[in-house]
A and B are shown apart, each in its own frame.
Chain A
Amino acid sequence: MKPAPFAWERPASLPALLDRLATAPGSVKLMAGGQSLGPMLNLRLVEPDLVLDITGVPEFRQARLEDGTLVLGACVTHADIEDGRVPDNTGGALQRVASAIAYRPVRNRGTVGGSLAHADPAADWVSALTALGAAVEIAGRDGRRTLPLEAFVTGALDVALRPGEILVAVKIPARPAGAAWGYVKHCAKIGEFAHAIGAVLIEPAAGRGRAVIGAVEGPPLLFADASPLFGGRICPDFAARFDAGAADAALIAAGMADRVARHVHVTVLARAVAQAAGQAPTHVPTTRPEAA
């Protein structure tokens, strides 16, 4: 349970970090809080030649509101969000997600940027921030670019970072006035990686909504337009119109063959919908018969 030997460097600025990332020989891993990479190193599943500690870059440890958009530096921790040390433009949604990630000692070091770059499908931020419509800012030696989170996460533990690039910040749009938020995850034990995640952001007045089924085997399943989940139209009584069969069909189309797994995911999504509507779930969703 000891990592293979690696060298450790801690650049003090972003240009220095990007230079080192581009020029260091051998394999390099970036580390923020180390709460995901640490176990992999200890288990020797990852054996880099060099670990670049990114927590020395001041820009990564800032948070600010820019025209209503919350910009979180990559090294802002879950506990920073949980404790309210960063501004909130989501009506407490971020705080509630953060406070249920793993355990407090993990939240004290684990970071939002590290979690997204690690892209574990069962982790909270990948799903929650996709539902909230967040984007990530990426820096390389050639400049910066911004990607919507759904374009950034490309697979299980797989993201759209090119060699030499680093995730520098997460940009979270303000939750629209009157938008309902529901986020539910299912864990067999508190603090473990989720078996299923459901997240919805519904604007009943505008007839709009986003929904995410997370903790699937690849990137989260995003409904950028959630209306098919509600009979084709999002209205104030959206929770009563939730169509479990439509969610189940989407999971089948996404390749989730296991009927029990689909049932769990649809149930958790239904609970997120009910939570957004401010009510207890009133019905057990029915899933379609097993596809041939």
Chain B
Amino acid sequence: MNAALAEIPGRTSGRTPGNMALALTVNGRPVRVEAEPRSHLGDVLRERLDLTGTHLGCEHGVCGACTVLLDGEPARACLTFAGACSGAAVTTVEGLDGDPVAAELRAAFNREHALQCGYCTPGMLVAARDLVLRLPEADERRIRVGLSGNLCRCTGYAGIVRAVMGVIAERRARGIGPESGAERALGPVGARLGEAGATPVTRPTPVPATAPAAATVAAPARVTDLDAAFTPTHSFTQTFDLAHPPEAVFALFGDIDAVAACLPGAVLTGRPAPDAVEGGLQVRIGPIGATFRGRARIAHDPATLSGAVRGAGADAGGRSATEGQIRYRVEPGEAPGTARVLLDVGYTLTGPLAQFGRPGLVRDLAGRITADLARNLDARLSGAAAPAPAGLNPLRLLADLVRARLAAWRGRA
């Protein structure tokens, strides 16, 4: 097997610790490359093999520019990590030169003006080829649906759809039927059984799971002016009831340290002014964990048993930022001597979390945080011992941060 492998000059010798040796068949040619486990197939093709015909757009599976054939089937190169396709056969747009279907598509794209800037075209050709092979007939709707995972911002798709319809119609007229694709093995394309398991992997130096080392933490976002007018992008309300008089609940809200202790994942690290706090909040949505640090300004109005918290913060890398406000009001509950707390939450989120996140997920998280907060507030008002910290409580770690600041937890809420 080794004799058949074409070494990529200078790219496999002296393997860097932590890298993996990767054997692939690319455009019919066996190659062996070295790659970091974190590199995706698109980067391996472009950076290691100089096959720059595979374009990278969004790198999270939405735009379709990086679509290649993996063991003959279309797949997102940006969502296929190096180790996930070890041993697989990869066909890029460069490898479609001699492919008869691709040849017909190129002629049709040319004829129908199905490209302009060309950025989407490599992925579009791979997706179009798949439709030509699989669709029984030149059905415009099914073609449009089939191309919906490949974004083109130049053509408006009209020419592309005409080109694909034309090729399908011609081929079916020539008596070439669709392929069923029923014969392949189960499981993700490109993931071969029994081959890649033996790929030696050197673990990089393990990093403690939850250690946001202070030295590597970027400076948190500056809160330039927390008093400025703020229009949140998203807003929602939360309500919870406590079996304690409204005055007692409101008094507890005046004790910032006590409230923070009741808020899962929160920590205070400073009080730069009587009405301002600095600190952090760690939140977790499924596999996503983020630690926000920042600063907040707090106002209370004893006359109306209401108040407001206004803050801003950023996550550890400073890439996702949030700004938000919570207005709260404590009202008498339905039963005498009980209180109902109304939270009016508004927030703005920018960065990768916003790119991924959907408002509904944030509300679900807020609901769970609010439920914990209510339970802990109730325990404290009842004179119970301080609530046990939540499982992922980062209080001590955060306390060590030299420049830790307040999490805009309301932004996360």
Measured CB to CB, the residues of A under 8 A from B are: 1-12, 25-27, 29, 31-35, 37-46, 49-51, 53, 55-56, 58, 60-63, 73, 75-77, 79-80, 83-86, 102-106, 108-111, 118-119, 121-122, 155-158, 189-191, 193, 215-218, 255, 257
Contacts and interface: CB of A to CB of B under 8 A. Distances in A.
B322 interface: no
B187 A44 contact: no
Interface in B228-270: 236-237
Nearest to A46: B287
Contacts of A217: 360-361, 363-364, 367
B6 to A, nearest CB: 23
A146 B180 CA distance: 34
Given A10-B196, A43-B355, A217-B364, A2 B186 contact: no
Interface stretch (B104-112, B166-174, B197-205, B326-334): B197-205
B212 to A, nearest CB: 11
A1 B38 CA distance: 11
Chain B CB within 10 Å, residue with most, of A7, A51, A77: A7
B209 A27 contact: yes
A77 B184 CA distance: 12
Nearest to A103: B149
B75 A108 contact: yes
A10 B199 contact: yes
B193 to A, nearest CB: 6
Nearest to B71: A108
A49 B75 contact: no
Interface in B352-395: 352-353, 355-356, 358, 360-361, 363-365, 367-368
A44 B218 CA distance: 15
Interface in B308-332: 317, 319
Interface string B123-155: 000010010000000000000011011100000
Interface of B: 18, 20, 36-40, 43, 58-61, 64, 67, 70, 73-76, 78-84, 86, 127, 130, 145-146, 148-150, 180-182, 184-191, 193-194, 196-197, 199, 201-204, 206-209, 236-237, 285-290, 317, 319, 352-353, 355-356, 358, 360-361, 363-365, 367-368
A206 B278 CA distance: 61
A3 B38 contact: yes
A8 B20 contact: yes
A55 B188 contact: yes
A156 B201 contact: no
A85 B82 contact: no
Nearest to A118: B286
A2 B187 contact: no
B78 A104 contact: no
A44 B289 CA distance: 10
A99 B36 CA distance: 33
A5 B18 contact: yes
Contact of B204 (A7, A76, A106, A155): A7
Contacts of A49: 206-207, 209
Given A5-B18, A37-B287, A45-B288, A105 B149 contact: yes
Contacts of A257: 236-237
B149 A61 contact: no
A104 B72 CA distance: 13
Given A49-B206, A156-B285, A61 B186 contact: yes
Nearest to A30: B287
A58 B191 CA distance: 11
A105 B193 contact: no
25 contacts: A5-B37, A6-B37, A7-B203, A8-B82, A8-B83, A10-B199, A38-B76, A43-B356, A49-B206, A51-B37, A56-B193, A73-B186, A75-B186, A79-B181, A80-B186, A80-B187, A85-B186, A106-B76, A109-B75, A111-B188, A121-B364, A156-B364, A190-B148, A191-B148, A215-B360
A3 B84 CA distance: 15
Contact of A83 (B67, B180, B286, B290): B180
Contacts of B181: 79, 83
A155 B356 contact: no
Contacts of B180: 83-84
B67 A105 contact: yes
Contact of A193 (B75, B184, B186, B358): B358
A156 B287 contact: no
A108 B185 CA distance: 11
A75 B76 CA distance: 17
Given A43-B352, A62-B186, A191-B149, A31 B360 contact: no
Contact of B73 (A34, A53, A108): A108
A108 to B, nearest CB: 5
A56 B209 contact: no
A103 B148 contact: yes
A39 B40 CA distance: 11
Contacts of B83: 8, 10, 51, 53
A56 B61 contact: no
Contact of A102 (B73, B149, B203, B207): B149
A63 B319 CA distance: 43
Nearest to B60: A39
Contact of B78 (A4, A12, A38): A38
Contacts of A25: 206
A157 B288 contact: yes
Contacts of B18: 5, 7
Contacts of B367: 217-218, 255
A156 B362 CA distance: 9
**Residue of A31, A63, A157, A189 with most chain B CB atoms under a 10 A cut-off:** A157
Contact of A7 (B37, B130, B187): B37
Interface centre among A1, A60, A62, A86 (most CB of B within 10 A): A1
B43 A2 contact: yes
Contact of B187 (A12, A75, A105): A75
